[in-house]
């Protein structure tokens, strides 16, 4: 099949794609975009903490105020002066009067908020927050721990507890995750979740972009009649194989470029990642990913090529995109849902279902240790799917590329598949 004609088509496709501006921009832009999104989130978080706040903390006793003040003094947002906190001692029965007196300032946001720590909080830890914007998670997150600590300090004072004991009481539970694989138990951070998401996302992006390009090119070749000239030199099968092979090579090159940071991080110690972002992904898994990706590309490009051959203008092409897109999108959403529950039954099943397997299995493999037989089974299923798609698409393409007139009905399509040699 790989004769000089197919190679000529592959060469032309590669030349057209690899040197095109859109390829270079996409290849460079996707990593920039991804890091950009992450960076923007970090920036947003930092910007949030930069919001200056003027608060009043009121309680029924000087002692509590002092304790809170002590605890808070160690916090960055106090040291940096972004949070200015005044303290007030208010008798329990006078609190509503006190509140009335500063209500105007709260409403005009001269004072952003009033935190009231009544003595009853030694029983139930219920605090009150008065503000124009009363649901400010930012404030609650920042003040929760110091105030809790202050309450604990006073509560256990004189109960003859050591510093260590108090320290223990103050702390809350933390989960560390350990991933069990066949040969080892290793501590795991969020790294693999991020990698799994990254792989799913790149797979999705790449399939959709390259698929649509394929569809557009086929429609163009058909509508500007170059297809007929080509078919006087080579068969439709050779033309389709060349186009798919050319695009697949382009896609794999692009994917490897995108994955370079991951590959480097996995195989060298050039990049130091923080503990919780460490991921463990072997080069075998990356290799499996790239192989599955290639199989997936060929499969989906076959579908897109057939879809393009059926229509002869861009508008009709839009309506042909959807059935194929759904075959990509549903598995993608399953992949994303795996992030929160990597062992879900729907993930396991769909990673062995034709088409879905191409997208779900790579995400699963990054998250959990998939048994070898399942991996082999998925490769087997993927290859069968690919052969099936290429045969059927080849038949549709063969007839579609030279058909004129209105697009065929499903019944006619079925007839094409039956009659085409």
Interface residue list for other proteins (CB under 8 A): 4-5, 8-9, 11-12, 16, 221, 224-235, 402, 421
DSSP 8-state assignment for residue 248: H
Contact 367, 342 (CB under 8 A): yes
Smallest distance, other proteins to C-beta of residue 30, A: 24
Smallest distance, other proteins to C-beta of residue 398, A: 9
Give the integer Cα–Cα distance in Å for 208 and 214: 10
Nearer residue to other proteins within complex by CB, 25 or 376: 25
294, with CB counted inside 10 A (0-12, 13-18, 19+), is: middle
Smallest distance, other proteins to C-beta of residue 20, A: 9
Smallest distance, other proteins to C-beta of residue 317, A: 17
Smallest distance, other proteins to C-beta of residue 41, A: 39
Smallest distance, other proteins to C-beta of residue 9, A: 8
Nearer residue to other proteins within complex by CB, 12 or 132: 12
Nearer residue to other proteins within complex by CB, 20 or 80: 20
Q: Which residues contact 380 (CB under 8 A, 6 or more apart)?
A: none
Smallest distance, other proteins to C-beta of residue 417, A: 14
Nearer residue to other proteins within complex by CB, 146 or 394: 394
Contact 227, 311 (CB under 8 A): no
Nearer residue to other proteins within complex by CB, 4 or 418: 4
Smallest distance, other proteins to C-beta of residue 415, A: 11
Nearer residue to other proteins within complex by CB, 132 or 406: 406
Contact 388, 302 (CB under 8 A): no
Which of helix, strand or coil describes residue 293?
A: helix
| Helix H or strand E encompassing 114 | strand 113-117
Nearest to 379 by CA among 401, 360, 352, 356: 352
Contact 111, 102 (CB under 8 A): yes
Which of helix, strand or coil describes residue 22?
A: helix
Give the integer Cα–Cα distance in Å for 10 and 16: 10
Nearest to 237 by CA among 309, 295, 292, 297: 309
Give the integer Cα–Cα distance in Å for 146 and 134: 19
Nearer residue to other proteins within complex by CB, 226 or 260: 226
Nearer residue to other proteins within complex by CB, 3 or 181: 3
Pairing state of beta strands 185-188 and 53-59? unpaired
Give the integer Cα–Cα distance in Å for 337 and 316: 33
């Amino acid at each position: 099949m790989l004769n000089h004609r197919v190679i000529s088509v592959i060469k032309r496709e590669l030349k057209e794609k690899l040197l095109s501006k859109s390829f270079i921009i996409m290849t460079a832009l996707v990593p920039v975009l991804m890091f950009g999104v992450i960076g923007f989130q970090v920036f947003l978080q930092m910007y949030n903490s930069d919001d200056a706040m003027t608060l009043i903390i009121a309680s029924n006793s000087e002692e509590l105020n002092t304790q809170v003040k002590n605890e808070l003094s160690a916090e960055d947002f106090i040291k940096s002066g972004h949070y200015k906190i005044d303290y007030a001692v208010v008798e329990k029965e006078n609190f509503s009067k006190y509140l009335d007196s500063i209500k105007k300032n709260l409403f005009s946001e001269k004072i952003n908020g009033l935190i009231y720590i009544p003595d009853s909080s030694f029983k139930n830890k219920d605090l009150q927050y008065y503000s124009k914007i009363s649901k400010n998670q930012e404030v609650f997150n920042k003040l929760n721990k110091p105030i809790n600590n202050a309450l604990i300090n006073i509560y256990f004072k004189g109960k003859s507890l050591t510093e260590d004991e108090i320290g223990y009481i103050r702390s809350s539970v933390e989960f560390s995750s350990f991933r069990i694989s066949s040969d080892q138990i290793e501590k795991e951070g969020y790294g693999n979740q991020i990698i799994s998401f990254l792989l799913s996302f790149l797979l999705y992006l790449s399939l959709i972009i390259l698929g649509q390009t394929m569809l557009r090119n086929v429609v163009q070749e058909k509508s500007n009649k170059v297809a007929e000239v080509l078919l006087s030199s080579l068969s439709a099968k050779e033309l389709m194989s060349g186009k798919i092979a050319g695009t697949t090579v382009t896609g794999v090159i692009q994917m490897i470029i995108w994955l370079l940071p991951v590959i480097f991080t996995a195989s060298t110690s050039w990049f130091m990642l923080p503990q919780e972002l460490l991921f463990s992904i072997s080069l075998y898994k990356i290799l499996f990913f790239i192989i599955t990706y290639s199989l997936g590309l060929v499969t989906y490009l076959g579908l897109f090529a057939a879809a393009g051959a059926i229509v002869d203008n861009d508008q009709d092409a839009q309506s042909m995109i959807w059935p194929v897109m759904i075959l990509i999108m549903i598995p993608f959403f399953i992949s994303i849902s795996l992030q929160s529950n990597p062992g879900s039954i729907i993930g396991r099943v769909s990673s062995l279902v034709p088409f879905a397997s191409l997208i779900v299995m790579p995400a699963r493999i990054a998250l959990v240790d998939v048994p070898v037989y399942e991996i082999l089974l998925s490769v087997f299923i993927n290859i069968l799917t690919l052969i099936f798609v290429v045969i059927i698409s080849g038949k549709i393409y063969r007839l579609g590329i030279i058909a004129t007139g209105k697009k065929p009905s499903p019944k006619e399509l079925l007839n094409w598949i039956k009659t085409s040699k």
